[in-house]
Amino acid sequence: MYLASVVNLHYCLRFLLPATLLLPASQIKGQQGEPTIEAVVDSLWNHLYDAPDSVQREARKLLVRAQHDRSVHGILNGWQLIGESFYYRNELDSSTHYYRIALVEAQRAGDQREEAHTFTALGSLASDQGLRDSALVRFDRALALFAALRDTSQLCGVAVRVAGACDRFDLDELAMRHFVDALRYCKQVGDEAFVAHALNGIGILHKKQRNYPKALAMLDSARVIYDRIGDRFGAGGVLNNLGVVYKSMGRYTDARRCYDAGLALFEADDYSRGIMSFNQNLGVLDNLEGKPEAGLLHCTTSLRIARESSLVQTQSEALNEIARSLMLLGREAAALDSVDRAIALAEQAKLPDKEQQAWGTRSDILVRMGRSAEALTAYKRQQVLRDSVFTLEKAAELDRLQTLYEAEQREATIAHLTAQAALDEARRRWLLIGLIAIGVAAVTIVLALVQRRRRERELLHTQVRLRDAENQRLQDQLDHKRRELTDKALHLAQKNELLRALEQELSGLRDNASDKDLAGIASRLRFDQQIDQNWEQFTLAFTETRGDFFKQLAQRHPDLTPNEVRLAALLSMNLGNKELGTVLNISDEGVKKARYRLRKKLELRTEDGLEQYLAAI
């Protein structure tokens, strides 16, 4: 597999719209201090890649304003922005719908440039949806409009995209013609990025035609340009394509060098699809070099990313290569399961090329398992899907499988006839013995079944008793923890009550305190230390009893203060207002206010019970 030579829709936004102002919207104001429509348009296009949902909402507001102000520029860009935001969400039908509205508006306004931009976007959407004829018609219309406008810069970008679509639909000659046209246009305007894109595409076409030296020359030229202009995405794509060409030539060391460099590049940028592609290609290379352990690791990584991105084709490819790794490791049963999943995905997605590859792998696995008849069936299925004349190599493979199958059939027939003859010869002699043996075996089996059922019942009863005992032990442990927690809460209450008493005594002893009185107060403070160390001990005990209460409370209500968290924990224990006031060292009125504030923070309705809500967490 290799990365496409034509970049995604967002990469060519400059081909969808005329140039807009480069100043941020906040610096371009209308008469009333409001950003101008041009500034809003510019800002929305700049933020589209990072926040498509937000941009879509703002684009709808832009439409209302532009329609009120009768701004053609705002209306056209509003519809285009909405369509582009749906494209980023992979909702291609919705994207096409809104771009069609933009096309109607452009034609109504007689704006050929905007009409050409919109035809370009519609062509790309049709290409992504596999609608070949529709894509080519729309691209041709865009090319004709830009040619009439003599806009060589735009012709450059559209030609690259048309060529990429032709490559996707296996129209190699047409793709080559458009890539060459794009190369000519791009050199005229000095657009190095699209020169590199065109060279990359031409290299891929030469690779498909097995013209490997030319493919390497084109791809290397593209890589040099990408490195010079700092286009990391393009550099990663061309490294992947170079690796594929080297692998096809049998130059595995050079292929691995390209794959490793590209993987490091995309890992640094955290580009998941590029990471997926390089891991898949490295897995294929590992299997070719007899390193199935490494191949299994790389392809498993590719499969995980493909599943996260819902890429069915890559899932099928990865599962097929995982099956080959498992087969090389001698794990045929697991390999068979993996390749069957690859086949199912390929059938579901209507990918005959991936399906025939997987059937070929299935045939190889079945041969290793000695199941030659099934291997032959799988191989024939692969050939039907390929729908082409057998090559000599494949015909020889078919003959080998057929010969192996027929030999096994003959051996099985001979063995069967020999066994049948021996059975006939000994039948009369061993008939009585056989009947007796059957009777004994039947009795033995019945007794064994009775014994087994009895042991199973005993085992079941034992398991039930052990489970009940374990449940009782856990319940006793939980009850003990709850009692400890309640004791700690009461200790905290005693502590605060003691501190208030000490405060009152100290107030009375300000002027006439005696040594005896002070000694009493010190004694009571030492007693306070024995009552409870600190609130953290209570928190630890509470966590042992209530599990992740504090964690769940923080997840549901992250804005609670530490005092509110303590109040919530105590309320979940069903402590009364008096005990709460003592523990928290606040008055009854303070408890009521704290409860009221906590209810508001928790957003409880009037009929909801505060204690019941907290106890349920």
* CA gap 568, 559 in Å, rounded: 13
Q: Is 254 within a domain?
A: no
What CATH number corresponds to the domain at position 61?
A: 1.25.40.10
pLDDT at 71: 92
Number of domains observed in the structure of the chain:
1
Nearest one of 327, 245, 239 to 278, comparing CA atoms: 239
- Is residue 565 in some structural domain? no
Is 127 within the bounds of a domain? yes
Give 325-372 pLDDT, tens digit per residue: 999 999 999 999 999 999 999 899 888 888 999 999 999 999 999 999
pLDDT at 387: 65
Length of the chain: 617
Give the count of beta carbons closer than 10 Å to the beta carbon of residue 75. Answer: 23
Does the pLDDT value for residue 290 go beyond 60?
A: yes
What pLDDT was estimated at residue 488? 66
Whether 42 is in a domain gets the answer yes
Give, in degrees to the nearest 5, the angle at Cα 614 between 474 and 538.
Answer: 60
Task: Supply the range of the domain harboring residue 129.
Answer: 1-149
Q: 67 lies in a domain?
A: yes
pLDDT in tens, 59-110: 999 999 999 999 999 999 999 999 999 998 889 999 999 999 999 999 999 9
Could you tell me if residue 283 is inside a domain?
no
Q: Which pLDDT belongs to residue 470?
A: 82
* 534-561 pLDDT tens trace: 566 677 777 777 778 888 888 999 999 9
> Does a structural domain hold residue 28?
yes
Q: What is the pLDDT of residues 482-520, one digit of tens each?
A: 666 676 666 666 676 777 677 677 776 665 655 556 655
Number of neighbouring beta carbons within 10 Å of residue 596: 11
What does the alpha-carbon distance between residue 58 and residue 78 come to, in Å, rounded to a whole number?
Answer: 9
- Confirm if 12 and 157 have CB atoms less than 8 A apart: yes
Question: Which of 361, 399, 579 is closest to 490 using CA atoms?
Answer: 579
**20: number of CA atoms within 13 Å, CB side?**
23
d(C-alpha 94, C-alpha 606), whole Å: 44
**Among candidate residues 14, 13, 17, 42, the one with its CA nearest the CA of residue 27:** 42
Please, are residues 266 and 236 in contact by the beta-carbon 8 Å criterion? yes
Task: Write out pLDDT tens, residues 226-275.
Answer: 999 999 989 999 999 999 999 999 999 999 999 999 999 999 988 898 99
In a domain, 156, yes or no: no
Q: How far apart are CA 72 and CA 56, in angstroms?
A: 18
Structure tokens at 174: 């047409």
